[in-house]
């Protein structure tokens, strides 16, 4: 039996995690740098991130937020203000201890100028922003205070993977302060909705909105909400979080205000963020064995035109009525076939191949990235141009529908302990062979014991990904027999 | 004699550098943070930066550049690859030496997990980007490589001032590699032109394009070009630099390619950057004793509408034909007079005050920020709306013309040594009194001796700001009597 040729080796089924790395390499999205755990985001990946930023930023501004910028460094004394918070991050902090380099007696450069107080490279900015808020907030008239920051952060991870878990990553962090608990909770949920909207309508990635259990709560938060997506290896990926921080950080940083009633009160705060991890999520939602697949709304280019003969610059003149269509003519001096496969691996939604005969007929060969590479259509240029906006929307819709169907096929309501264990048990394979794709999302009742969750995690590497906001019916926990208010989502996860 | 009331105290004439701080505070642009030398950029300042970014980014993309992102940290061994480069930055590096925090025996958190190799927080990225380029560039077909990065950088400055000199600042750094020297020089000059275009046409800030002398060259560059602007204290401010790096960094990082002729060659590289310092430059070019003055093309808001009575939300409905006009209705529950002065200090180009009587007449009271605060005009709403685009352009043009006239008034061709020393001599003042504004740009011939430049710097704190690209006539150096190819710009500087 001849093996079908794919543009990416290995395929998802052969070795999922190696496939992931190869899709990134094949699409020129990013690469590992010589700095431990830090990635280089290449132009194709960075433009995707810029498009994500633009869309999210517009949504943040439409919901009343303003951007600002706070220091990269956090003095150790600030970082310690919230006890749970510092505990949560102490093990993964890059620490600046010196402020210059000096030659030692052998002429070797070594750190010099030791700082009186070490500085932590921000892993998140609640404490340093909280300090600013404590100065900015004096009266109820200063509230709500709705701030967002686009920044780099550093968490010293021991095992890193491009986009999914890197020592340095890019993100946005929203930080808001409110006069009442109700308003802060409302903000927390509003931003969760914004994230879900972005995931589904821009990334074409279906998500479940829910709350985290105590085990997965943000250090220092009262409640943590998240959106969870299913990847093609059926693991869950947390794609965004929104935290209701109660008055914990307000008390730690002294964010107090004079209420309308004349009393001094602590503010209620929230924080919420998404990161460059979204690129990994997008990749694992849509890509196939030929490489990256881009939802049109975020694609750096919508259409790539590949002349199959040496170049006719007049192709640039292909007019698209819709100026929102991003078109690239690939005039590089390379073989047409090689170019085609490069663009397949990069995931451009639509490819146009144009040879001399097509030019004569004023037609093009069009291929959609969401279909098989050989599935090309000869179509008149005029018709293609007239339909391109519809075509792009149809690709966007199809990617979402396909991802939603995949999730649905691999989600099971499970009411029996043995079935649960069987669902998640890894199939037996030869030593050193990669684990085949298995499992999925189990929607199972749960009576909520922390120890039980830990036991299941130890035995199966499966955890509660979230307690869905959409509650469904009450029932009985198959592990304890106790009553359960609703099903929760169990899965292996990134 | 009664002192005229100004919205900012002190005035420029009274104490220029304190005036600078007060304009920033009065406009809510930024503030010092508890982290030594690091600033917090507040929303009004950050939105200005976003507008600058957007305009520059469009210009970079129009000239063929793509954005990417490289690690925040640079391993010490990389940093040392270019000898002059490391010398130039070693004294001002933040150094990460540990990767976690641990409680010591007294329970105090201290740095732990010492790194094998210290990491330098990037002060600039030539070495880490050069390393990536050495992998990306293999053949002449991979050139030119035109990359830009928007990022934060850290230079441990001992004396800091908001925007002008901060430990952490935001910037963009362009890095390009070319097959030939001629192409790299062309790129260096192209980006200098982009910066000059941006400074003059967006910031309304006239600049002189020129080359730096050896004393002010970027560490590791063959040639450094700059744009220099005159501030209102008549000092020069370097607003952007473009470096021709020759093959220095290509050799240090091994950026080699197979030429079309089959030979292995080193690439020619450039780098160029502008920073959040531009906000300080913009401030000191246009602001007055009432506060910040914004050129309309970069203003976060163009028009602010201030209802002089308790609010009529129908004001929002003021229709502006031009959707590019950014309008804010200030509905806050504060006194109208207080609001007016807040917006004066924030520098919004046009203020509209609307009271009940204006509403009746369907007219508005309009004030331009480039005129005196009391200079208001009653004008019909319809007429105001019809003319707003023209008004904004006229403010933009006037700010540029005014700044250019100021520079011209304070620039002198000097051909005599004594006149030169007199021009820059600080007027005598009482002890502890601020130095009055004096001096300016001296256009003076110079025979180029490094020692002479150093002597003048020691005696007058005056240096060659640049050797203008516009050469003018040859002449004789008034200090040495030797021939000089052209006049150079001498000035005190930031």
The secondary structure element, H or E, covering residue B31 is strand B30-32
pLDDT of residue B332: 87
Q: Do A99 and B94 touch (CB under 8 A)?
A: yes
Can you give the pLDDT at residue A2?
56
Name, in order, each residue with C-beta under 8 angstroms of B471's C-beta and a sequence gap of 6 or more.
B485, B486
pLDDT at B315 over 80: no
pLDDT confidence of residue B307:
85
User: What average pLDDT does range B308-337 have in this prediction?
Assistant: 71
Mean pLDDT computed over A157-175: 96
Q: What mean pLDDT do residues B465-489 have?
A: 97
- Residue A312 pLDDT exceeds 80: no
Nearest Cα of chain B lies from the Cα of A27 at a distance, in angstroms, of: 14
| Rg of chain A in Å (alpha carbons) | 25
The residue among A359 and B438 whose pLDDT is bigger is: B438
Q: Encode pLDDT of B160-193 as tens digits.
A: 999 999 999 999 999 999 999 999 999 999 999 9
Mean confidence (pLDDT) of chain A: 94
Chain B partners within 8 Å of A96 (Cβ): 94-97, 121
Q: CA end-to-end span of chain B, whole Å?
A: 35
Q: Which residue shows structure tokens 């270019």?
A: B82
What is the sign of the dihedral through the CA atoms of A57, A62, A66 and A72?
negative
pLDDT in tens, B190-227: 999 999 999 999 999 999 999 999 999 999 999 999 99
C-beta neighbour count of A8 within 10 angstroms: 24
pLDDT band at A331 (very low <50, low <70, confident <90, very high): confident
Cβ pair A93:B80 closer than 8 A: no
Mean local confidence (pLDDT), A257-271: 97
Contact (CB<8Å) A73/B119? no
Strands B363-368 and B376-380, bridge-based pairing: antiparallel
pLDDT range class, residue B477, cuts 50, 70, 90: very high
Burial (Cβ within 10 Å: 0-12, 13-18, ≥19) of residue B156: buried
Residue B336: predicted pLDDT: 86
Gap between the Cα atoms of A293 and A297, Å rounded: 12
pLDDT band at A428 (very low <50, low <70, confident <90, very high): confident
- Tell me the mean pLDDT in the region B293-306: 96
Cβ atoms of B175 and B133 within 8 Å: the answer is yes
On the question of pLDDT at B1 being above 60, the answer is no
Contacts of B71 in chain A (CB under 8 A): 33, 35, 38-40, 168
| Share above pLDDT 70 across residues of chain A, in percent, rounded to a whole number | 96
Cis peptide leading into A488, omega within 30 of 0?
Answer: no
Answer whether 0.90 is exceeded by the pTM. yes
Q: Taking all residues of chain B, what is their mean pLDDT, rounded to a whole number?
A: 94
Prediction ipTM score: 0.95
pLDDT digits (tens, 9 = 90+) for A235-257: 999 999 999 999 999 999 999 99
What pLDDT score was predicted for residue B321?
55
pLDDT at residue B3, as a whole number: 58
Per-residue pLDDT reduced to its tens digit, B254-270: 999 999 999 999 999 99
Residues of B in contact with A35 (CB under 8 A): 71, 73-75, 119, 128
Section A177-195 average pLDDT: 98
Task: Please say if the pLDDT value at position B27 is more than 90.
Answer: yes
**Interface contact flag, B69 A41, Cβ < 8 Å:** yes
Whether residue A313 has pLDDT greater than 50: no
State the Cα–Cα distance between residues B386 and A208, nearest whole angstrom.
49
What's the pLDDT tens digit per position in A74-91? 999 988 887 888 888 999
What mean pLDDT do residues A60-84 have? Answer: 93
d(CA A175, CA A160): 27
Q: pLDDT tens digits for A100-142?
A: 999 999 888 999 999 999 999 999 999 999 999 999 999 999 9
B100–A98 C-beta distance less than 8 A? no
Residue B187 · residue B148 · CB < 8 Å: no
Asked if the model's pLDDT at residue B312 lies above 70, the reply is: no
Exposure string of A83-103, with b = 16+ CB inside 10 Å and e = fewer, is: eebbebbbebbbbbbbbbbee
Would you tell me which residues 78-97 of chain A have a C-beta closer than 8 angstroms to some C-beta of chain B? 78, 80, 86, 90-97
The share of chain B scoring above pLDDT 90, in percent, equals 84
- The A residues from 126 to 185 touching B (CB cutoff 8 Å) are 128, 131-132, 135, 141, 147, 151-152, 154, 156, 168, 170
Tell me the two tokens of residue B255. 């950026």
Helices (H) and strands (E) in chain A, counts: 13, 25
Q: Do B119 and A94 touch (CB under 8 A)?
A: yes
What letters, b where the CB count within 10 A reaches 16 and e where it falls short, cover B158-172? eebbbbbbbbbbbbb
Average confidence (pLDDT) over A158-171: 96
A46 → closest Cβ in B39, B69, B168: B69
pLDDT at A316 > cutoff 80:
no
In this predicted structure, the answer to whether residue A311 has a pLDDT above a threshold of 50 is no
Quick check: B317 pLDDT over 80?
Answer: no
Q: Say whether pLDDT at B308 is over 80.
A: no
Q: What is the pLDDT of residues B237-255, one digit of tens each?
A: 999 999 999 999 999 999 9
pLDDT value for B11:
96
Q: Which residue has better confidence, A322 or B178?
A: B178
d(CA B148, CA B64): 10
Q: How confident is the model at residue A433 (pLDDT cuts 50, 70, 90)?
A: confident
Instruction: Name the residue of chain A whose CA is nearest to B141's CA.
Output: A333
């Amino acid at each position: 039996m001849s093996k079908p040729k794919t543009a990416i080796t290995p395929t998802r089924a052969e070795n999922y995690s190696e496939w992931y790395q190869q899709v990134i390499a094949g699409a020129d999205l990013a690469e590992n740098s010589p700095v431990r755990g830090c990635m280089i985001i290449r132009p194709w990946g960075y433009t995707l991130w810029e498009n994500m930023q633009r869309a999210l930023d517009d949504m943040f501004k439409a919901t009343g937020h303003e951007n600002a910028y706070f220091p990269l460094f956090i003095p150790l004394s600030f970082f310690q203000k919230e006890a749970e918070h510092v505990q949560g991050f102490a093990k993964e902090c890059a620490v600046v201890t010196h402020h210059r380099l000096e030659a030692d007696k052998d002429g070797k450069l070594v750190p010099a100028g030791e700082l009186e107080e070490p500085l932590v490279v921000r892993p998140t900015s609640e404490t340093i922003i909280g300090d600013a808020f404590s100065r900015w907030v004096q009266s109820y008239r200063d509230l709500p205070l709705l701030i967002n920051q686009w920044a780099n952060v550093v968490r010293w991870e021991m095992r890193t993977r491009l986009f999914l878990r890197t020592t340095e990553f890019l993100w946005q962090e929203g930080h808001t302060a409110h006069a009442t608990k109700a308003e802060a909770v409302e903000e927390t949920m509003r931003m969760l909705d914004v994230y879900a909207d972005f995931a589904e309508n821009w990334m074409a990635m279906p998500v479940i909105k829910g709350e985290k259990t105590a085990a997965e709560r943000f250090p220092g938060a009262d409640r943590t909400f998240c959106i969870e997506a299913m990847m093609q290896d059926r693991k869950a990926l947390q794609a965004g979080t929104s935290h209701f921080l109660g008055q914990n950080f307000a008390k730690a940083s002294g964010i107090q205000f004079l209420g309308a009633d004349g009393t001094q009160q602590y503010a209620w705060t929230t924080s919420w963020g998404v990161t460059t991890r979204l690129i990994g999520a997008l990749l694992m939602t849509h890509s196939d064995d030929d490489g990256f697949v881009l939802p049109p709304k975020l694609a750096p280019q919508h259409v790539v035109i590949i002349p199959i003969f040496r170049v006719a610059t007049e192709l640039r003149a292909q007019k698209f009525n819709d100026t929102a269509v991003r078109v690239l003519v690939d005039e590089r001096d390379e073989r047409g076939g090689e170019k085609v496969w490069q663009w397949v691996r990069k995931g451009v939604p639509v490819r146009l191949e144009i040879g001399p005969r097509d030019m004569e007929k004023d037609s093009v060969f069009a291929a959609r990235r969401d279909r098989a590479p050989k599935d090309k259509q000869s179509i008149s240029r005029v018709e293609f141009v007239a339909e391109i906006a519809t075509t792009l929307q149809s690709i966007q819709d199809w990617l979402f529908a396909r991802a939603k169907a995949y999730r649905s096929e691999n989600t099971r309501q499970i009411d029996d302990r043995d079935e649960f264990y069987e669902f998640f048990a890894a199939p037996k394979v030869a030593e050193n062979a990669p684990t085949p794709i298995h499992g999925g999302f189990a929607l199972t009742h749960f009576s909520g014991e922390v120890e039980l969750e830990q036991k299941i995690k130890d035995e199966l590497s499966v955890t509660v990904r979230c307690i869905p906001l959409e509650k469904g019916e009450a029932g009985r926990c198959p592990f304890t027999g106790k009553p359960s208010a609703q099903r929760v989502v169990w899965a292996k996860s990134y």
